[in-house]
Chains A and B, each alone.
Chain A
C-alpha cells in the first residue's frame, strides 16, 4: 500500500510537466518538420513523412524493449509495478507500430509506387505488430493477477527477439526498404544538418509523448490492480 501511494504520488507530481514538455516539443517539432527543414533534393516535399515514420518506429522499438525489461523485472521480483509498466508499454508500442506501418505505407505509395510489398522489413514489422496484439489478447483473457503477470512476462521475454530482427532486416541482401539513415554502419548520418536536427527534435518529442502516456497508463493500471486484485 505504501509503495502504491509513493508510486502514484511521484507520478502525479511529474505528469503535468511531462504533458507540457511533450505538447511544447510537439509544436516545435511540427514547425521544424513542416516549414523550417528544407525539401529533399530527390523526393521533394514527400520525404517529410520521415519525421513521423522514423520516430514512430523508434518508439515501437523502445516500448517493446521496455516490455522486455519490465517482464524480466516481474519474473525477478514479483513487484506489481513491473507488470503495470509492461502492459502500459505494450499498448503504446502496438499503437506506434501501427502508426509506423501506416505512415510508411503512405510514404511508400508516392515514392516506391506501392502501398505494400512483401519485403523483409515490412513483413517483420507486420509480424511484430501481430505478436504484440497477441500479447495484449493474452493479458485481456487472463483472469488471475499473478498468473496473468507471469504468463505475459514470459511472452514479453520471448517476443523481444523480433525487435533486432526488424531493425537488421534491411541489411539482408536485396531488400527494398532504405538502410538506416542516422545509425549507419559506415560514416555519419546521411542527411543535412538541418534535417538531422529536425529528426532529432521529432524523436525527442515522440519520446516525451511516450513518457507522458506511460506515466498516465501506469497510474491507471496501478489503480486497476488495487480495485480488481488485492495487492500485497
Chain B
C-alpha cells in the first residue's frame, strides 16, 4: 500500500525514528501494524480481540512515547506494549470464562472448501498448544513473511532463536495435525 503523503514520515526510514512526536508515532504505528497484529493474535491465540488490543496498546504507547529511546526499533518497543496489553486481555478473559471455548469468529479470509473450514479449526487448536513466542514467530514468518532478522528485532530475541522457534513450531503442527493434513489434501 503506498504511503499517504499527508502522513508524517518515519524519520528513521526503517522503523528507527528519532524523537517520537505524536505524528511520528501515528506514522510508525501504521507501518508496524501488520507485525503488531500478529503479536496480538499470537498472545491471544485468536484474532477476535486483536484489534481491540491494538487500539488500547496504541493509546498506551502514545501516552508513554517519552520512554521510547530514539534510534531504536519502534516495532520492538511497541510490540512489548502490545504483548503486555494482550496478556492483560487474555487474563481477564480467562477469569471471566475459564472453560469457555468457542468457534472461530470474526473477519476471516473465506476458506475455499468445507474441508478447509474443518482443517483451519484444527490448525488453530494445534497452534494454541505452542508457546506464545513460538506462535508469534510462526505468524510473523508465515502471515506477513518477515525474515528471521526482522522477527528477531521485533520480538527482541536472537535471529537463531527465531528460526528455531519457526522450525519447531512447524514440526509440532505437522505432528499434531497428522492425518488431518493429509486429509486436507484430498478433494471433498
Are A and B bound to each other? Answer: no
